[in-house]
Amino acid sequence: MWNDSNKYDRGVNTFSPEGRIFQIEYAFAAVKMAATAIGIRTDEGVILAVEKKLPSRLMDPTSVEKIMEIDSHVGCASSGIAGDAKTLADHARVETQNHKFSFNEPLKVEAVTRSIADLAIHFGEGSEGMKEKPMSRPYGVSLLVAGVDEDGPQLYVTDPAGAYLKYKA
CA distance 23 to 13: 8
Torsion sign across C-alpha atoms 118, 130, 22, 92: negative
CB-CB contact of 76 with 142 (8 Å): no
Q: Cα(first)–Cα(last) distance of the chain, in Å? A: 53
Buried b (16+ CB within 10 A) or exposed e, 36-55: ebebebeeeebebebeeeee
Residues 127-164 have pLDDT tens digits of 555 566 555 788 999 999 999 999 999 999 999 999 99
pLDDT score for 136: 75
Distances (CA, A) of 2 to 9, 12, 73, 85: 14, 20, 53, 35
Residues 3-33 have pLDDT tens digits of 555 666 666 667 778 888 788 888 888 899 9
- Name every residue whose Cβ is closer than 8 Å to that of residue 105 and which is 6 or more positions away in sequence: 99
pLDDT score for 61: 84
CA distance 78 to 66: 5
Q: What is the pTM of this model?
A: 0.86
